[in-house]
């Protein structure tokens, strides 16, 4: 079961599945540096990531 609506290209994550899908039960996304305000998408990232 993959997360509907989530597209991910991080293919070395243990939750990643073929077709740019994520099979984690939920994901946590944070701002780089610990702030709660991002100014651009490249300042955010998935903290559920775990290497394969």
Interacting residues toward ligand SF4 by CB under 6 A:
6, 8, 10, 13, 15-16, 22, 24, 27, 46, 48-49
For residue 29, report the phi and psi dihedrals to the nearest 5 degrees: -115, 130
Residue 1 corresponds to which tokens in the numbers above? Answer: 């079961």
Nearer to ligand SF4, 30 or 49 (CB): 49
Q: How far is the CB of 41 from ligand SF4 (least distance, A)?
A: 14
Minimum separation from the CB atom of position 43 to ligand SF4 (A): 16
| Cβ(43)–Cβ(26) below 8 Å | no
């Amino acid at each position: 079961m993959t997360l509907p609506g989530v597209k991910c290209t991080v293919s070395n994550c243990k939750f990643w599945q073929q077709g740019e899908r994520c099979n984690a039960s939920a994901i946590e996304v944070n701002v780089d540096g610990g702030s709660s305000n991002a100014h651009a998408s490249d300042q955010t990232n998935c903290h559920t990531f775990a290497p394969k």
